[in-house]
Amino acid sequence: MLSRRHFLVGAAAFPAVSYLSLGTAFAANPKSVLVAAQQLDNMTSLDPHESFEAIGSEICGNMYHKLVHPNLDDPNKVDPKIAESWTASEDGKTFTFKIKSGIKFSSGGDLTAEDCAWSLQRCVSMNKGPAFIITQFGWNAENAAEMIKATDAQTLVLTTAAPTSIAFLLYCLSANVGSIVEKAVVMANAQGEDWGNAWLQKNSAGSGEFVLQVWRPSDTVSLQVNPNGDYKGDLKRVILRHIVDPSAQLLMLQKGDVDIARNLTSEQLKTLKDDPSVVLVRKSTASLNLISLNVSNEKLKNPKVWEAVKWALDYDGIQRNILPMTHEVHQSIIPDGLPGALKDNPFQKDVAKAKALLAEAGFPDGFEIKMDHYSAQPHPAIAQTVQANLAEIGIKVTLLAAENRQVLTKMRAREHEMALSAWGTDYFDPNSNADVFCINTDNSDGAATKPFAWRSHFQDDKIAEMAISARDEADPAKRVEKYLELQKFYMENSPFAIMMQGSVTAACRPDVTGVLLGTLPDSNSYAGTTKA
C-alpha cells in the first residue's frame, strides 16, 4: 500500500504538483487543483488516433473535441461540437459539415475545416487500432485526400463509398478516433512520415478543456486548463495519480489526500453509500458480462438448450449478492446508454421451465459440460453461482479458471464449450455490438474476419440481415426501431446469455461537483468540475 509519506515524496519530486509538499496542510488541497487516484497503467499512447484503452480514451476525451458529441441525457440524439450543422445528400454518400468559427486550439491557433479534414485523413492513413471505426465508410490511405476534404475554411465534405446512415456516421465521428488535432503543430513535430505520432503520444494539440502537461507512465498524468478552451470553473489543473490498490485509494480519499477515488470495489462502495463525507457519482458503462455456448458442441447446438440455460440463471441473485453497485441486470447485446438499447429483461430463474426446455432438446437428464471463466474476482463467484443454477436443471458444469488472456485465447481459437466472459463496446453506436454479435459472413476456421459470434460458431442469416438493415437505415427513428426488433429476436434465438451490464463510480469529496461519467470512457469528463 502506498503510504502518505511516499505519496508526498513522489509528488514533491514532480514540479507540476509541488504544492503537494505542504506537509500537514496537504489534506487541504488548493481549490484550483483536483487530484484523483486511479489505476493508470492500462494505456500506451495519448495520441487520440491511436489510443484505444479505457483510461487513454478518457484522458484524450478531456483534451480534444470532435465534430459532434453524443447527447448523454438522450443517447438517440447527437449534439454539435466543432461542427455547428450538417447535411446529407439524397444518395446518402456526401455529407457536408459547417465548422463553427472562433474555436481556438490550445496554442491559440484557429481551428478550421482544414484541421478537421487533415485529422481524419491522418487517422485513416496511420491506420492504428481504432481506425476501423471510420475506415468502414470506405476510406483508406489512397483515397482519403479525395473523400475527406475542406472546401473552404468553414466547410468539411465527407464522401462515403456506399450509401450511409447519417446517424451511423455521426456516432462514429463522435469517437476519440474523430478527434480534431491542430495540423500545423502536429506536422511541425513529425518525424519522417509518422504524422507526428511519436510526439503526440506524450503531448497534446487539441481544442478541449485541458492540455497535457506531463504523462509519466504508471505514475502521473497532469492536465492543465486550456487557456483558449471552454472550461469555466475555478480549476487550473487536474492531476491523476496511479494508485493500484483500491484500499489505498479509499484511505487517501477519506483523509483528504485526494479529491476523487476511481477504482473502489463493490464492498468498499457499499460502506460509503450512506457516508455524508463522500459523494458517489455512478454511471452504467458499455460493458457486458455474458455466457457463450459454442454451438459446434453437440450438446449445445439445439436452440432449446440455449433457452434452458437462460431460464436457469438467477440474474437478480447474482446482481444482489455478488455485484451490487458495480453491475445491473441487462439481457440485451446493446448496453443501456447507447442509442436503441432495449431495456427489457425477460429472463428470470424458472427451474421448471428450464427443465422442460432441456427435455424438449432431448436431454431430460441433463448433460456434462465445461465452462471457462476469468480467474480474477468477481468472475469465480459468478461462475460458481452459474454452476449451481445449471445443476438444478441437470447440467453438470466443470469450471475452468484462467487469466483473462488465456480464456480469450481459447475462445478466439473456438476451443471453449461454454465461457463466462466480458465484452466492451468500441464506439457509441449500436452497430458496434450488433456487428460482432450478429454478422458472421464466413463461419469457416480460416475466415478473414472473426467476430465474436464466429468464436462460438454462430451464424444466422436472418439475424445478420436484420443487423445490416438497422445499420444502414437512413431514418434515425426507424433505425432505433430496427435495433429494438433485432435485440428482441436475438434474445430468443442466440447461444449467448447476456447477464449483466457494468457500471463505474467516482467517489468524490463533498466539495467536488460536476464530475461527469459517460457510457464510454471518452465521455468521462472534468470539463464541468469545480471544488467549493
Concatenating the DSSP letter of every residue in 294-358 gives -TTSGGG-SHHHHHHHHHH--HHHHHHHT-TTTEEE--SSSPBTBTT----------HHHHHHHH
Contact (CB, 8 A) for 61 and 521? yes
Q: What angle do CA 229, 243, 211 make, to 5 degrees?
A: 15
Q: What is the largest CA-CA distance in the chain?
A: 72
3-state secondary structure of 373: strand
Dihedral class, residue 218 (left if φ above 0, else alpha if ψ from -120 to 50, else beta):
left
Phi, psi angles (nearest 5°) of residue 395: -90, 115
In the chain, the N- to C-terminal Cα span, in Å, equals 29
Residues 6 or more apart whose Cβ sits within 8 Å of residue 200 = 46, 47, 48, 181, 186, 189
pTM as predicted: 0.91
Q: Compute, in degrees rounded to 10, the torsion defined by CA atoms 116, 119, 124, 129.
A: -130
CA distance 329 to 319: 7
pLDDT of 41-91, one tens digit each?
888 999 999 999 999 999 999 999 999 999 988 999 999 999 999 999 999
| pLDDT, position 28 | 58
Q: Which helix (H) or strand (E) holds 287?
A: strand 279-293
| pLDDT, position 12 | 35
Amino acid at 160: T
Residues of the chain with pLDDT under 70: 1-28
Residues 6 or more apart whose Cβ sits within 8 Å of residue 295 = 301, 456, 457, 458, 495
| pLDDT, position 72 | 84
| pLDDT, position 29 | 77
Residue with cell 465521455: 523
pLDDT of 495-520, one tens digit each?
999 999 999 999 999 999 999 999 99
3-state secondary structure of 21: helix
Contact (CB, 8 A) for 6 and 251? no
Residues 6 or more apart whose Cβ sits within 8 Å of residue 284 = 328, 335, 336, 337, 501, 502, 503, 519
Distances (CA, A) of 418 to 253, 415, 439: 41, 9, 20
Closest CA relative to residue 100, chosen from 61, 65, 63: 65
